[in-house]
């Protein structure tokens, strides 16, 4: 699950909800959700790779950006495990869920800022290398 859409609903989820409200029979819940999220993540990573490659980033530099995403996903996964533990041990986990949701949002915001900073640092580093080469 991780970074992408931890608490939010995808368009597919919204469409399924609308379809369930409009139809009298309930459809079974799809077990393909993790697979779909993995595919979505792969597409997003491929898009990010293409965009960075278009700006002449090397594989090593792209990997630097991906490390930021992986660290954020690990933090979110840790929070998810904490949430599962809280839900199983607490009779009223609402406050904990709200707190964890805020923490996930903060992690996502920090990750976005860190990615922008890293890209800026890499661009500056590249421009300095070019200047030295001249």
């495990």: which residue's tokens? Answer: 81
pLDDT value of residue 130: 83
Supply the angle between the helices 94-133 and 59-89 in degrees, to the nearest 10.
170
Spatial contact of 88 and 57, defined as CB atoms under 8 Å apart? no
pLDDT, averaged per 10 consecutive residues of the chain (134 residues), comes to 46 46 44 75 90 92 94 94 86 86 96 95 90 80
pLDDT value of residue 32: 59
Give the separation between CA 44 and CA 111, rounded to whole angstroms: 15
Q: Which residues contact 10 (CB under 8 A, 6 or more apart)?
A: 36, 40
Nearest to 118 by CA among 79, 75, 78, 70: 70
pTM: predicted TM-score of the whole model, two decimal places: 0.68
Alpha carbon 26 to its chain's center: 30
């Amino acid at each position: 699950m991780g970074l992408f859409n931890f608490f939010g609903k995808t368009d597919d989820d919204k469409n399924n909800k609308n379809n369930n409200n409009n139809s009298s029979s309930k459809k079974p819940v799809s077990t393909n959700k993790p697979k779909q999220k993995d595919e979505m993540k792969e597409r997003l990573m491929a898009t990010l790779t293409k965009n960075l490659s278009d700006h002449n980033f090397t594989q090593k530099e792209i990997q630097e950006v991906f490390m930021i995403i992986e660290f954020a996903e690990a933090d979110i996964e840790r929070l998810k495990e904490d949430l599962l533990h809280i839900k199983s041990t607490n009779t009223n986990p609402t406050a904990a869920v709200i707190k964890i949701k805020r923490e996930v949002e903060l992690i996502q915001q920090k990750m976005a800022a860190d990615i922008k900073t890293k890209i800026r640092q890499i661009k500056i580093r590249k421009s300095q290398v070019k200047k030295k080469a001249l």
